[in-house]
Amino acid sequence: MLPRTLEPEVMDSVEEAADYDAMDHAEVNRRFVDDLLAAVARSALSDRLFETGERVRILDVGTGTAQIPIELFRRPVSASVWAVDLAAEMLILGEHNIRMAGMHGRILLEQADAKSLPYDEGEFDVVMSNSIIHHIPVPSDSLREMIRVLRPGGLLFVRDLLRPVSEADVEDLVRTYAGNENDHSQQLFRQSLHAALTIAEVQDLLTGCGWPTEDVQQTTDRHWTISGYRAALSVERDPGDAEVSANDPL
């Protein structure tokens, strides 16, 4: 098994943000939203999201350039979405993407650190995240925060890359899924694969957070997914930390 090799936590140069946004994530994003909505449909949140018009409160952690919230709002859902990222350049492009999609006012972008989210405990019905965990040197920091801000009964839906077994496997995945991208984009993907976690490592994270390990599964040849509902968990937080509630974006 390849050792985990960390990559920069924040992709915040103009070039990195532009190359990330230009990569073809369309199918991955559609699959993410399809699977997220399927998980919601199995829960008590289903009526609120799809039928009654009562908005489900959703937090997207590590939103990047906001492509997944935009994909979500292409579906007939009733939701308020807070989308956070630590990278200012990503958020600048995210705001542009939101306006181009005609969704200004439906998605609130905020600059925030996934390791210390500026929200109250239990503030969200759904916490979702795509491909942020591999950027975090100590991933338990961000996973605990996602759980903390999720209300009891709420859905945690986290997807990220799966670290390959060998260098040969890394290069196969780069050729398969980034072969048509430029050299810099290919290198970003290569670094992300090296920084990704194994299923066993994610299970260890979940155990440390008091979350059932069976909620993580390998879901593609290069992804794992955590999909489950928060029980009455107690997630410790330094009592000296300030907590600020977000304003409703709608």
Domain spans of the chain, in order of start: 14-229
Query: What is the rounded distance in angstroms from the CA atom of residue 226 to the CA atom of residue 81?
Result: 20
* pLDDT at residue 231 in the model: 87
> Residue 233 above 70 pLDDT?
no
CA distances from 153 to 122, 190, 205 (A): 10, 36, 20
Classify 106 as helix, strand or coil.
coil
* pLDDT at residue 107 in the model: 96
67-71, 177-181, 246-250 — which is least confidently predicted? Answer: 246-250
Average pLDDT over residues 81-109: 95
Query: What is the rounded distance in angstroms from the CA atom of residue 144 to the CA atom of residue 229?
Result: 14
Mean of pLDDT over the chain? 90
Query: What is the rounded distance in angstroms from the CA atom of residue 247 to the CA atom of residue 250?
Result: 9
End-to-end CA gap in the chain = 47
Please state the CATH superfamily assignment of the domain spanning residues 14-229 in this structure. Answer: Vaccinia Virus protein VP39 (3.40.50.150)
Specify the pTM: 0.89
Q: How confident is the model at residue 159 (pLDDT cuts 50, 70, 90)?
A: very high
Q: How confident is the model at residue 24 (pLDDT cuts 50, 70, 90)?
A: confident
